[in-house]
């Protein structure tokens, strides 16, 4: 079909299709890590979808709405026309029918809704294919997050008129405690142990005095407060003088483990672990006994030019900002053309504003700060979060310059809470959480660069002088290293190292 129709030249189509068919036939759970570029472009979807269409029994396919749209409007029409198959493919929220034998497309949250807590709404034994499994941990954590809104306090007051004074005292104490924290860019603060106990005692006392009939979400929320595996934080609205409480599990493996029993799982994703056996990923999602396959990036067609200068000061020194400004100016002078699009990723807010102002003074209105309407010829200055959200809707960059690696900031209360939990468990919080997260974000961020062998500039010298730097460089492969700037960087690399 690919020879006849042309187009997708990804070399691993047949392997992915065979592995999918093998997993279905042998009922053997399988994890396939395609390259970050293939995952970004969705090159692997044609392969596994072909095997699912040829499979005679029903299958559950879990994918985001964006991926479902691509499957139904790009891959599925091509395969149906070529294979001449009429197997039904249905985007659904619940299982269609006891006799359904097609492919049921579930969004991650709809699928988790039927599986967590452990429901029997889905028929037993039906294989599950998860496209985008690198997000499985976060999907689960979001699904299991419990929230108490400001109006839930009002509902509690109405439901327990004899306990109004006690409820108001607890609410006032929490408000005072939370508003003592200084404002931060993340808009949230951690709920400390004493406040968690205060809230738990209130709910337990209400339950003891009047029963559970009106507690609802309050009782479920309170049950998680004293568990060590729970992160509890408040989103504070200082202008309105109110807050929203949230709780979520730090480790989701205990919740996911019962889902895997008695089912064949086929997980497809971009590179989530430098280890081909993905031991860390399996630990995080509670999976064991998997067939693991990792596909590498094409060294001939997807190599980067990597500009990684030695001698740039460390990011936490006063000398870093002027050195970065000088490097960025040189880069843009060489690469500033009408038909190019450049992205500068700077997560430090004051530094981002300062560099944007300096560059705008020379390059004018083509300098855009976190704008989603960029065109060729523009230079986008952005933080990591904005780029992750909008990179698919923006032009493919010819140049990407990264100031610092995307380590989750310990100034973020939710990050600090997770790190504190790992420390309490005497676990290596850096290599279990911060480093894998940074590598994952980095690989996803640079995926658009690889389609045309463009230039990546990395100015975080910790890559060269810290022990974990080698893992970062492995994650960036294949690349051709550049140590200095010259006009020849406009030419794509002919080899990789």
Average pLDDT over residues 36-54: 91
- The Cα-based distances of 90 to 20, 62, 93, 340 in angstroms read 20, 12, 10, 41
Average pLDDT over residues 374-391: 93
- Model pLDDT for residues 386-403, shown as the tens digit of each residue: 999 999 899 989 899 999
pLDDT value for 494: 45
Q: Is 175 buried (19+), middle (13-18) or exposed (0-12) by CB count in 10 A?
A: middle
Rg (CA), the chain: 25
Q: Do the two domains 2-143+252-294 and 304-490 of this chain adopt the same fold?
A: yes
pLDDT value for 225: 85
pLDDT value for 334: 79
Let me know if domain 2-143+252-294 sits in CATH 3.40.50.300: yes
- Model pLDDT for residues 314-328, shown as the tens digit of each residue: 998 999 999 999 999
pLDDT value for 123: 83
Average pLDDT over residues 298-326: 90
Confidence of residue 214 (pLDDT cuts 50, 70, 90): low
The yes-or-no verdict on residue 497 having pLDDT over 60 is: no
Average pLDDT over residues 450-467: 88
In angstroms, rounded to a whole number, what is the distance separating the alpha carbons of residues 156 and 168? 10
Strands 242-249 and 230-237, by their bridges, are: antiparallel
Q: What value does the mean pLDDT of the chain take?
A: 89
Confidence of residue 493 (pLDDT cuts 50, 70, 90): very low
Q: Report yes or no: 464 and 308 within 8 Å, Cβ to Cβ.
A: yes
- Model pLDDT for residues 139-163, shown as the tens digit of each residue: 999 999 999 999 999 988 888 888 8
Buried b (16+ CB within 10 A) or exposed e, 322-350: ebbeebbeebbebbeeeebbbbbbbbbee
pLDDT value for 496: 42
Q: Report yes or no: 307 and 456 within 8 Å, Cβ to Cβ.
A: yes
The yes-or-no verdict on residue 338 having pLDDT over 90 is: no
In angstroms, rounded to a whole number, what is the distance separating the alpha carbons of residues 220 and 248? 12
pLDDT value for 114: 83
Average pLDDT over residues 99-103: 92
What is the percent of the chain where pLDDT is above 70? 94
In angstroms, rounded to a whole number, what is the distance separating the alpha carbons of residues 284 and 388? 22
What is the percent of the chain where pLDDT is above 90? 61
The yes-or-no verdict on residue 495 having pLDDT over 50 is: no
- Model pLDDT for residues 109-120, shown as the tens digit of each residue: 999 988 776 555
Domain boundaries, the chain: 2-143+252-294, 146-246, 304-490
In angstroms, rounded to a whole number, what is the distance separating the alpha carbons of residues 261 and 26? 15
Domain 304-490 carries which CATH code?
3.40.50.300
């Amino acid at each position: 079909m690919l020879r006849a129709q042309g187009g997708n030249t990804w070399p691993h189509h047949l392997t992915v299709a065979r592995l999918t068919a093998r997993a279905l036939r042998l009922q053997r759970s399988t994890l396939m890590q395609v390259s970050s570029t293939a995952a970004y472009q969705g090159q692997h979807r044609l392969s596994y979808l072909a095997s699912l269409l040829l499979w005679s029994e029903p299958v559950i396919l879990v994918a985001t709405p964006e991926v479902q749209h691509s499957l139904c409007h790009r891959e599925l029409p091509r395969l149906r026309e070529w294979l001449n198959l009429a197997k039904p493919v249905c985007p659904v929220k619940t299982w269609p029918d006891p006799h359904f034998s097609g492919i049921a497309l579930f969004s991650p949250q709809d699928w988790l809704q039927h599986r967590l807590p452990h429901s029997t709404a889905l028929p037993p034994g039906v294989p599950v294919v998860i496209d985008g499994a690198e997000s499985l941990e976060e999907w689960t954590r979001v699904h299991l997050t419990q929230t108490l809104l400001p109006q839930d306090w009002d509902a509690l007051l109405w439901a327990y008129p004899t306990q109004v004074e006690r409820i108001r005292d607890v609410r006032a104490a929490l408000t005072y405690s939370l508003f003592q924290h200084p404002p931060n860019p993340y808009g949230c603060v951690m709920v400390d142990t004493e406040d968690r106990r205060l809230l738990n005692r209130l709910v337990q006392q209400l339950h003891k005095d009047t029963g559970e009939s009106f507690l609802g979400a309050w009782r479920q929320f309170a049950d998680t407060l004293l568990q060590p595996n729970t992160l509890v934080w408040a989103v504070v609205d200082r202008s309105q003088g109110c807050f929203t409480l949230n709780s979520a599990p730090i480790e989701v493996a205990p919740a996911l483990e019962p889902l895997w029993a008695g089912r064949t799982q086929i997980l497809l994703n971009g590179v989530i672990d430098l280890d081909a056996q993905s031991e860390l990923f399996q630990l995080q999602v509670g999976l064991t006994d998997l067939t693991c396959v990792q596909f590498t990036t094409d060294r001939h067609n997807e190599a980067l030019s990597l500009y990684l200068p030695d001698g740039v000061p460390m990011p936490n020194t006063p000398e870093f900002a002027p050195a970065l400004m000088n490097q960025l100016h040189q880069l843009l002078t060489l690469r500033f053309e009408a038909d190019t699009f450049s992205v500068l990723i700077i997560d430090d807010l004051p530094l981002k504003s300062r560099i944007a102002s300096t560059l705008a003074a020379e390059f004018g209105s083509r300098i855009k700060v976190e704008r989603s309407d960029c065109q060729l010829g523009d230079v986008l200055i952005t933080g990591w979060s904005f780029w992750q959200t909008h990179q698919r809707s923006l032009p493919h960059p010819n140049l990407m310059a990264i100031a610092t690696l995307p380590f989750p900031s310990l100034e973020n209360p939710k990050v600090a809470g997770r790190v504190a939990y790992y420390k309490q468990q005497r676990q290596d919080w850096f290599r279990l959480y911060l480093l894998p997260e940074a590598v994952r974000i980095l690989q996803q961020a640079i995926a658009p660069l690889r389609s045309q062998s463009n230039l990546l500039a990395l100015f975080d010298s910790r890559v060269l002088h810290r022990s974990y730097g080698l893992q970062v460089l492995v994650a960036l492969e294949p690349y051709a290293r550049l140590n200095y700037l010259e006009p020849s960087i406009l030419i794509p690399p002919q080899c990789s190292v």
